[in-house]
């Protein structure tokens, strides 16, 4: 049978019989939360694989993944099991690309930061900048943009900070293309244009380099990305790179270190680079909650990419057994604990601010390890 009969186009979604059809997004929960087709329901691929009865047999099932490749394979399998399943051609990113327009919305976005999100985003951004001394006179900062909601918001916040101009500093909005597909790159460039962010793009072959790496390719990719960002920023005369990690990333990292790493540590608001002399890494969204970033995104009707790795187009196991799935477990754990104790998130955050060295068995400072026994006998 003609394969085209088992696919529908993005344009055809508007003509679907809503009563007798359902759009099922088979991406993981994190990807779905980053952005989705408004009428879609999220049933992750692994859940369908475990029990296909979660799907209706009396409706047309339109399957949607990131690019339309994984969902195409699943649709064929489901048809063999008696389901009326078709694939959404080009997937969520195809829908996202068609949703994009050339309309500039920067003014409205900037107004929302100054007014509606003044307390929950702008004030917390500036609080981190001041409290952790992230920006100093004559800094030249490479604001690193991955294309996601966090880094795009960070870029707009830095533009707002620059307008206040309390002291001189420079900004470069840096985008590294590690081998994006044309669709992913066009989404990033289109969003930058809509938000009036003057990006500087440079290209690397990182995706190609890690393609055949079997163990922890995402970890290696992240490390290589950071190295390239440091190097390019330094070439552009910058002394700092800014990354978009937020408050939730911080508390999740604390718990991940304890539960999976057996150590107490946190994601620091700023770090000196060990390989690039004179360079620092700063995290200006350190005090901003992810829920507020999502509210800002949705309020302004913005859509961003999550992981732009072209290899996840056909990979069904990228979150199995690595830090992605572990972080999702921690997110769920925190959500469950919050039902019992609403202060759990702030308590986790403050736990690494209130460390009393007299009440820990041992700790490390640099390469030197210290024990409570070191001076135990000297105390009364």
Phi-psi region of 62 (alpha: psi -120 to 50; beta: other; left: phi over 0): beta
Active site residue 315: no
What are 207's two structure tokens? 């995706």
Which residue is it, tokens 């001394």? Answer: 133
Listed in sequence order, the DSSP H helices in 115-246 are: 123-131, 149-164, 182-194, 206-210, 217-235
What are 244's two structure tokens? 């978009």
3-state percent breakdown (helix, strand, coil) of the chain, nearest 5:
50, 15, 40
Angle between helices 149-164 and 290-299 (to 10 degrees): 80
Using alpha carbons only, give the angle 271, 272, 277 rounded to the nearest 5 degrees.
160
Q: Are 74 and 48 in contact (CB under 8 A)?
A: yes
3-state secondary structure 245-258: CCHHHHHHHHHHHH
Q: Mention every residue, 6+ apart, whose C-beta is less than 8 A from residue 13.
A: 23, 37, 39, 62, 88, 95
Q: How many CB atoms lie within 10 A of CB 349?
A: 17
Q: Which residues of 198-214 are buried (b: 16+ CB within 10 A; e: fewer)?
A: ebeeeebebbeebeeee
Adjacent-strand bridge partners of 21: 60
Catalytic residue among 36, 64, 65, 238: 65
Which residue is it, tokens 């509606």? Answer: 116
Name the phi and psi angles at 25, rounded to 5: -90, 115
> Which of 187, 163, 162 lies closest to 66 in space, CA to CA?
187
Q: Are 207 and 178 in contact (CB under 8 A)?
A: yes
Active-site positions?
65
């Amino acid at each position: 049978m003609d394969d085209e009969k088992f696919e529908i186009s993005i344009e055809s979604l508007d003509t679907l019989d809503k009563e007798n059809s359902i759009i099922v997004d088979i991406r993981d929960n994190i990807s779905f939360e980053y952005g989705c087709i408004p009428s879609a329901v999220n049933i992750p691929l692994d859940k369908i694989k475990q029990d296909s009865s979660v799907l209706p047999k009396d409706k047309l099932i339109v399957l949607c993944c990131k690019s339309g490749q994984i969902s195409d394979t699943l649709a064929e399998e489901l048809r063999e099991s008696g389901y009326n399943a078709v694939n959404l051609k080009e997937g969520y990113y195809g829908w996202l690309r068609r949703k994009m327009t050339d309309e500039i919305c920067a003014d409205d976005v900037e107004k929302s930061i100054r007014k509606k999100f003044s307390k929950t985003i702008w004030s917390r951004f500036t609080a981190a900048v001041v409290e952790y001394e992230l920006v100093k006179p004559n800094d030249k900062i490479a604001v690193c943009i991955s294309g996601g909601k966090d880094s795009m918001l960070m870029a707009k916040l830095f533009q707002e900070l620059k307008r206040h101009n309390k002291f001189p500093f420079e900004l470069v909005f840096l985008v590294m293309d590690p081998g994006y597909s044309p669709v992913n790159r066009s989404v990033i460039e289109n969003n930058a244009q809509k938000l009036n962010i003057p990006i500087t793009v440079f290209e690397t072959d990182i995706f190609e380099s890690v393609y055949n790496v079997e163990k922890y390719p995402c970890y290696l990719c992240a490390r290589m990305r950071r190295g390239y960002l440091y190097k390019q920023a330094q070439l552009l005369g910058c002394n700092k790179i800014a990354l978009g990690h937020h408050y939730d990333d911080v508390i999740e990292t604390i718990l991940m270190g304890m539960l999976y790493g057996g150590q107490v540590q946190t994601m620091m608001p700023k770090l000196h680079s060990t390989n690039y002399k004179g360079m620092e890494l700063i995290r200006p969204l350190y005090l901003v909650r992810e829920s507020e970033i999502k509210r800002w995104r949705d309020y302004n009707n913005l859509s961003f990419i999550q992981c732009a790795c072209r290899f996840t187009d056909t990979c069904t196991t990228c979150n199995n057994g690595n830090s992605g799935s572990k972080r999702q477990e921690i997110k769920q754990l925190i959500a469950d604990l919050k039902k019992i104790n609403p202060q759990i998130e702030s308590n986790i955050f403050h736990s690494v601010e209130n460390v009393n060295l007299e009440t820990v068995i041992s700790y490390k400072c640099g390469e030197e390890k210290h024990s409570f026994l070191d001076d135990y006998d000297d105390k009364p």
